[in-house]
């Protein structure tokens, strides 16, 4: 399923995930609070469906799903490792597998670092500075798991 990252509904969802109340979103877009509520309900459903489809396509067994935050925790059946699927406003839908990488020699090193820092910022999480994407990912996803368990 496609996530409409350029549509207003998705923008509402991102603002709401960041803690902006529906009434403020409504004022910002000059629409009714009820319209925002309906759009958010629709987006939550689309986010949930998309996360579940991604989990199925990647053979990830679902352990915890939070559509309001756009995060799914699970376990990869073929790789036998923990996995997370998340929605980033900047990077779209992402799948990350727990692993020990050799990041220094990887051609995607910068891409991984940028993705992790960007998503931490989107989720208002502070991370320890490290040049190792594997350690950064472990810290980020540990904090995300706590965040999801609080809801």
pLDDT for the residue 85: 98
CB–CB of 148/139 below 8 Å? no
Burial 49-86 (b: 16+ CB within 10 A, else e): ebbbebbeebebeeeebbbebbbbbbbbeeeeebbbbb
Domain ranges of the chain: 8-150
Compute the distance between CA of residue 70 and CA of residue 131 in angstroms, rounded to an integer: 26
Mean pLDDT by 10 residues, the chain (151 residues): 77 96 97 96 95 97 97 97 96 92 86 95 92 91 93 73
List the structure tokens of 76: 């990869």
Compute the distance between CA of residue 67 and CA of residue 17 in angstroms, rounded to an integer: 10
List, in sequence order, every residue forming a beta bridge with 60; answer none if it has no partner: 76
pLDDT for the residue 81: 97
Stated length of the chain: 151
pLDDT for the residue 97: 95
Query: Going by C-beta distance under 8 Å and a sequence separation of 6 or more, which residues neighbour residue 81?
Result: 75, 97, 98, 99
Compute the distance between CA of residue 27 and CA of residue 52 in angstroms, rounded to an integer: 32
Record the pTM. 0.92
List the structure tokens of 79: 């790789």
CA nearest 145: which of 88, 93, 82?
82
CA nearest 69: which of 57, 81, 90, 51?
51
pLDDT for the residue 14: 96
């Amino acid at each position: 399923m496609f996530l409409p990252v350029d549509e207003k509904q998705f923008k509402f969802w991102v603002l709401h995930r960041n803690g902006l109340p529906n009434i403020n979103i409504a004022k910002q877009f000059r629409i009714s609070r009820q319209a925002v509520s309906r759009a958010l309900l629709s987006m939550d459903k689309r986010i949930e469906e998309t996360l579940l489809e991604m989990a199925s396509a990647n053979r990830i067994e679902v352990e915890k799903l939070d559509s309001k935050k756009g995060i799914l925790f699970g376990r990869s059946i073929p790789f036998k490792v923990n996995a997370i699927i998340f929605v980033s406003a900047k990077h779209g839908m992402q799948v990350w597998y727990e692993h020990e990488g050799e990041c220094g020699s990887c051609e995607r090193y910068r891409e991984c670092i940028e993705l992790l820092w960007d998503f931490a910022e989107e989720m208002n999480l502070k991370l320890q500075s490290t040049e190792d994407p594997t350690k950064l990912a472990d810290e980020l996803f540990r904090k995300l798991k706590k965040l999801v368990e609080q809801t």
